[in-house]
Amino acid sequence: MDESIRVRHYLHRHPELSDQEFETTKFVTEKLTEFGYRITTPKTLNTGVIAEIGQGSPVVALRSDIDALPIQEDTGLEYSSINNGVMHACGHDFHIASLLGAAKLLSQNDINGTLRLIFQPAEETHVGAEEVVESGATNGIDAIIGFHNKPDLKTGEIGILPGGLMAAVDQFKVTFNGIGTHAAMPELGKDPIVALSSTITALQTIVSRNIFSHSSAVVSITHIEGGNTWNVLPEQSFFEGTVRTFDEKVRAEIKERFYEVVNYQSRSFGLSATINWITGPDVVDNNVKLTKIVEDETSKFAQVVHPTPSSAGEDFAYFSQRIPSVFVFVGSDGNSDWHHSDLILNDDSLKYGIEWYYRIGLRLLNSL
Which residues participate in the annotated binding site for Mn(2+)? 90, 92, 124, 148, 339
> Looking at residue 350, what DSSP letter applies?
H
Other beta carbons within 10 angstroms of residue 160's beta carbon come to 22
Say if residues 193 and 233 touch (Cβ distance below 8 Å).
yes
- Identify the sign of the CA torsion 185, 191, 194, 198: positive
* CA dihedral of residues 145, 42, 81, 4 (deg, nearest 10): 50
Of 279, 362, 363, 290, the C-alpha closest to 326 is 290
CA distance 22 to 244: 31
Say if residues 219 and 206 touch (Cβ distance below 8 Å).
yes
Query: End-to-end alpha-carbon separation of the chain, Å?
Result: 30
- Identify the sign of the CA torsion 193, 194, 196, 197: positive
> Looking at residue 112, what DSSP letter applies?
S
Say if residues 84 and 149 touch (Cβ distance below 8 Å).
no
Helices (H), 158-312: 192-203, 205-210, 248-268, 288-298
CA distance 184 to 258: 32
Say if residues 61 and 141 touch (Cβ distance below 8 Å).
yes
As annotated, the binding site includes 90, 92, 124, 148, 339
Say if residues 138 and 321 touch (Cβ distance below 8 Å).
no
